[in-house]
């Protein structure tokens, strides 16, 4: 789930899947108690100590060499 999310963050905004994600993200802000893929991801990231990554929607280096 997290690996897919990092891929989504790097995806071009013109892609259909990115637009779906942004819609789900917006819904998770408007309706924070509604269960969705984004709300589950948010809760997972926060429980692992990555709340800032969720807030800023940014993953700088998701691959280690």
Q: What does the pLDDT read at residue 59? A: 75
Residue 60 has pLDDT above 70, yes or no: no
Distances in whole angstroms, Cα of residue 9 to Cα of each of 33, 38, 42, 49? 23, 13, 14, 19
Q: What does the pLDDT read at residue 1? A: 94
The Cβ-side half-sphere exposure at 44, using a 13 Å CA radius, reads 11
Q: What is the pLDDT of residues 8-55, one digit of tens each?
A: 999 999 999 999 999 999 999 999 899 999 999 999 999 999 999 999
Q: Report yes or no on 63 lying in a domain.
A: no
Q: Report yes or no on 62 lying in a domain.
A: no
Q: Residue 46: give the domain boundaries.
A: 2-55
CA distance 32 to 65: 36
Domain count, the chain: 1
CB-based contact 5:41 (threshold 8 Å): yes
């Amino acid at each position: 789930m997290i690996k897919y999310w990092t891929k989504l963050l790097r995806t071009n905004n013109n892609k259909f899947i990115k637009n779906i994600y942004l819609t789900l993200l917006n819904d998770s802000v408007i309706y924070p108690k509604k269960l969705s893929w984004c709300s589950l991801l948010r809760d997972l990231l926060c429980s692992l100590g990555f709340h800032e990554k969720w807030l800023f929607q940014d993953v700088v280096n998701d691959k280690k060499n």
